[in-house]
Amino acid sequence: MSSRPQLKQIYLNIGGEGPLRTVIRDFYRRMSNDILIGFFFTGKDLDSIAEKQMEFLMVAMGIRSKFTGKNPSQAHLTLPPILSGHFDRRLVLLRETLAQNGLSETDIQVWIDFEEAFRAVVVS
């Protein structure tokens, strides 16, 4: 995966690794509590999932050079089918999380566009 300068700017704008970790953990907590997609997280270790997502994002942002987790298509194989509506709901929750954590509309849209690029490999 190659880094994307616009994503690195989000990392800088948000204030680095600590604030990014806070946002990611908030996002996964929201997803796990959501009536539409929360079932995907039942019995899962949210902190571990959030840390892998953090690592994945930091590679995409050009902050780290190596990702030790599974690629998006492999990471979701053991889950129930992820439908387009589930993916859409994830993006709604992401947008809300980013806005409530003070990201600019520009940064939010860059992040949403990055996530949207994975729709084809995640959605069944």
Question: What does pTM read for this prediction?
Answer: 0.92
| Cα–Cα distance for residue pair 31/22, rounded to 1 Å | 14
pLDDT of residue 77: 74
Closest CA to 53 of 70, 33, 37: 70
pLDDT of residue 3: 54
| Cα–Cα distance for residue pair 107/82, rounded to 1 Å | 26
- Domains observed in the chain: 5-122 (1.10.490.10)
Hey, how many other C-beta atoms are within 10 angstroms of the C-beta on 102? 12
By the 8 A CB rule, do 122 and 82 touch? Answer: yes
Residues of the chain with pLDDT under 50: none
